[in-house]
Structure 1
Amino acid sequence: MEHERGDRKYDRNSYKKEPLSLERTKWDSGNEAQEYERKNDKKKAAKEKEKPNFALSGKLAEETNTFRGVVIRYSEPPEARIPKKRWRFYVFKDNENMPTLYMHRQIAYLIGRDRKVCDLAVDHPSCSKQHAALHYRLVPYEKADGRRARAVRPYIIDLGSSNETFVNNKPIEPQRYVELREKDVLKFGLSSREYVLLHDESKDDILDDDYQED
């Protein structure tokens, strides 16, 4: 059946869309897939921009902070320094003096049960494999006369241990550096050992006069 429209005639039977060729179908499908991927990439980029993540991925941490095949749970801060003062731990257990630990030869000391990687081994079952870390950091401070200066100070950080790290019998917040001072007493987990922090310029009678056990 034919219809007239102006000067042109149209045949209903002949006026049909021809099927797309296989090559054309593939081309359109490919373009649609690329467009879909582009939209997804834009969405992902927008989400990453809204919520930046500065934490190391597991793989990156493994590549940058591994010792003897074990991933270390802390990283040295850029201001880490070896101290000039000869810091040491005087260790006490059940009113008994244990060997003195010299803690000034390194920038940091890893503390925990894993003897494969830890510098200071604490074998009590309540302590974590990587329990805490002692760090020395170069930090600014103000002198008595108001002048600004910098000094290397000791810091402790709990590495998310199961049973906490204690400074002067108070638990410290995990994953946060806490500055230590002369005569501070540290405990790890439920261990009865106490570690008194002193240095080579401390008075000889400081333990007798000032250190008291609870």
Structure 2
Amino acid sequence: MSPKRPSSIQPSARPRSGSRSKSPPPIDKAKPNFANSGLLAAETNAVKLTDGTSTILKYNEPPEARKPTLGWRLYVFKGSEQAELLHIHRQSAYLIGRDRTVTDILIEHPSCSKQHAVIQHRQVTEKDEFGASKPKNKPFIIDLESTNSTYVNDEAIPTSRFYELKAGDVIKFGLSNREYVLLHDDAT
């Protein structure tokens, strides 16, 4: 038989308090801190400008980013008049917004964010009618948490998520009345 512990040491006799949260130990500033600071990521996303300042980009291309194989174009309409024709097949991503220093497609409407959205060409895997998987390059759009949203066919798309675009889609940014119609070489 083992001897009994005194009741003051037994777990059931300990006083219980409502909160058991402990404050974190004080940080010793003399020791090195190897925790993630986020400065390295910010540095890789920074674009240095000629005046010495820098702009942090909100977007990084994903690993599946590919330059498109089709000749994609954006037809820009203001009302019923065609204002511009933008070729968006020369690189894998196009940053859209008001910031002249970093955007590929400039939108000057005040309701649009400085870095509003990105059109990203990505390689995705699709199954054909026989069930075989094959890679295919497709355009997507992603809203970069803009204040006034991005619209595809008059529907607001979710923020920070890729939304697949199809030939004939009409894209609008913020409250601008310009419409961007997406077509490619093979579209009729």
* Interval containing the TM-score (normalised by the shorter chain): 0.7 to 0.9
**Superposition deviation, residue 144 in structure 1:** 2.2
Task: Report whether the alignment pairs 1:177 with 2:157.
Answer: no
Structure 1: which 4+ aligned runs deviate by more than 3 Å?
none
Aligned residue for 1:61?
41
TM-score between the two structures when normalised by the length of structure 2: 0.76
User: Which runs of 5 or more structure 1 residues have no equivalent in the other structure?
Assistant: 1-38, 42-55, 204-214
What do you get for the CA RMSD once the two structures are aligned?
1.6
| 1:73-88 mapped onto 2 (5 Å cutoff) | 73-88=58-73
Task: Compare the two structures and name the one with the higher helix fraction.
Answer: 1
**Superposition deviation, residue 58 in structure 1:** 4.5
Q: Comparing both chains, which one has the higher relative contact order based on Cα–Cα distances under 8 Å and sequence gaps of 6 or more?
A: 2
Residues 57, 89 of structure 1: alpha-carbon distance in 2 compared, 3 angstrom cutoff: farther
Question: Which stretch of the first structure deviates more once superposed, 167-176 or 143-152?
Answer: 143-152
User: Which runs of 5 or more structure 2 residues have no equivalent in the other structure?
Assistant: 1-23, 27-35, 49-53
Counterparts of 1:197 and 1:78 in 2: how far apart (Å)?
24
Aligned residue for 2:85?
100
Task: Report whether the alignment pairs 1:190 with 2:175.
Answer: yes
| Secondary structure of the corresponding residue to residue 82 of structure 1 | coil
Which structure has the larger Rg over C-alpha atoms? 1
Per-residue CA shift, 1:45-73, capped at 9, x if unaligned?
xxxxxxxxxxx854233211122321100
- % identity of equivalent residues: 51
Q: Is the 8 A contact 1:61 1:71 kept in 2?
A: no
Aligned residue for 1:72?
57
| Secondary structure of the corresponding residue to residue 41 of structure 2 | helix
Amino acid at match of 1:91: V
